[in-house]
Amino acid sequence: LTHIGFEVSDVDAVYERILGTGYKVTSPPVEMRNGRSKLIYVYGPEDLVIEFIELREMPFAPPADPTQRAV
């Protein structure tokens, strides 16, 4: 087990709350995947790495063209 992760609705709020607990945060929240997600990593009890990730709304892919086939 390398780490565990939790999806949260507001990673910035989680970050601020964790700062007051004394646990070590690897960095401020980082945007990933062209802004589609934002995350932090925290060293929890016994140095277990805990990931908190905020998944943002992603646009849906356009409908597939039924006349085209992937090869």
Structure-block tokens of residue 40: 């932090």
Number of domains forming the structure of the chain? 1
pLDDT tens digits for range 22-49? 899 999 999 987 778 999 999 988 889 9
| Domain harbouring 11, CATH code | 3.10.180.10
Residue 68 counted as domain residue: no
Structure-block tokens of residue 21: 């607990």
Q: DSSP letters along 23-58, please?
A: PEESSS-EEEGGGTEEEEEEE-GGG-EEEEEEEPP-
pTM of this structure: 0.74
Residue 39 counted as domain residue: yes
Residue 71 counted as domain residue: no
Residue 40 counted as domain residue: yes
Residue 70 counted as domain residue: no
Residue 19 counted as domain residue: yes
Tell me which of 4-8, 15-19, 61-65 is least confident: 61-65
Give the domain extent around 24.
3-55
